[in-house]
Chains A and B, each alone.
Chain A
Amino acid sequence: MQLKNTSKYYGLVSILIHWLMAIAIIGMFGLGVWMVGLDYYDPWYHRGLWLHQSIGMLLLLLLLFRLIWRLSNPVPEIIGLWWEKLVAIWVHRGHYLLMVILMVTGYLITTAYGRGVDVFGWFEFPALFPADKGRETTLGFYHMILAWGYMAYIAMHAAAALKHHFIDKDTTLLRMLGINQNKEEKEKHHED
């Protein structure tokens, strides 16, 4: 499989980033909801937040790369009716927007007092914006509401993918799994 996208298929890089972020973001939601309910004496009380912040910063960096990759690659043609294509384009844009807002608010909460974010003890991501005491509470609320909202959004996105697969019986889901392409390539080989 090629690394870059073509006008018909997703490349390996796009596929890996899609699924890696899907798993990480859903995991981050679970971790976030779980960690804020922990007891002060729980061994995970500090570790849970540290993990959430560390993964969050890596996700933000990955998202930046993903946006660059998205803009420098062809976009595989969307399968569906004209209005489905229109909805799909805006839903995808919504994904990027929601991810950016979620990750940036998380970053701004952690750096509210002007201190950087420790990422797994490997490096410190600097606080790029001036300290603004109090924003951690306001943004914390939005971060939580958006996280729940984004999970609903992801559920709809997954339902749409399954609808394409089981009802429309098209290759929308398969090509994001990199399956259809292999199948077609193999068929092509047989024909040869």
Chain B
Amino acid sequence: MKIKLIIGAALVALGISTSAIAENYVIDKKGQHAVVQFKVSHLGYSWMIGRFNDFEGTFSYDEKNPSAAKVNVTINTASVDTNHAARDKHLRSPDFFNVDKNPTSTFVSKSFKELGDGKAKLNGTFTLNGVSKDITINVTHIGHGQDPWGGYRRGFEGTTNLNLADWNMPFAPKLGPASANVELYFSFEGIRQ
């Protein structure tokens, strides 16, 4: 009798929890259908584009309740890649990302607000180089649906601007006024779990 009650309660709890939890997605790291990229002006004359090759993350999204969406991303800062050995070495040093001291950079969402037409504002805490700040990311919902291999996928892209002066990088001011801001761009394809 007692056991039956417990099992019943557990089933009810399980039933409630599965219906209450939104769809969970894991960013497709294996297939690398995801990118974290940054773009910064070089002297004001051209763009320097770099990216982080190693990161992982999850997000949840429920079409019936999009404002409950959550995003969690962790970036391996040592994986910075601007296709230039000397520059990447410099970026990993304490002059910029200080990767020995701060090997990871994280983003943890706080709120998600859909604006219609696939656009949304994502707020959250971004931690980079030991500094944590709330940032707003302009998100676009790109698409979702069955993939050809029996899975279900959903993808977003987003951009935000970071002021380098906020992130404790001693060398950043030396890059000159044209390089004060960095545009961060990401595109994540999640596989539903």
A interface vs B, CB < 8 Å? 39-41, 49, 109-113, 115, 133-134, 136-137, 140
Contact = CB atoms under 8 A, between A and B. Distances in A.
Contacts of B99: 137
A113 B174 contact: no
Given A109-B85, A110-B86, A111-B85, 11 more contacts: A39-B174, A41-B176, A109-B89, A112-B85, A113-B83, A113-B84, A113-B85, A115-B85, A136-B85, A136-B89, A137-B78
B89 A137 contact: yes
Main secondary structure of the interface of A (DSSP, over half): loop
A115 B171 CA distance: 26
B89 A40 contact: no
Contacts of A115: 85
B85 A40 contact: no
24 contacts: A40-B171, A40-B174, A40-B175, A40-B176, A41-B174, A49-B86, A109-B86, A110-B86, A111-B85, A112-B85, A113-B83, A113-B84, A133-B53, A133-B81, A133-B85, A133-B88, A134-B78, A136-B85, A136-B86, A136-B88, A136-B89, A137-B78, A137-B89, A140-B89
A136 B88 CA distance: 8
A41 to B, nearest CB: 7
B117 to A, nearest CB: 39
B70 interface: no
Contacts of B174: 39-41
A131 to B, nearest CB: 9
Contacts of B85: 109-113, 115, 133, 136
A115 B79 CA distance: 19
A140 B85 CA distance: 11
Contacts of B154: none
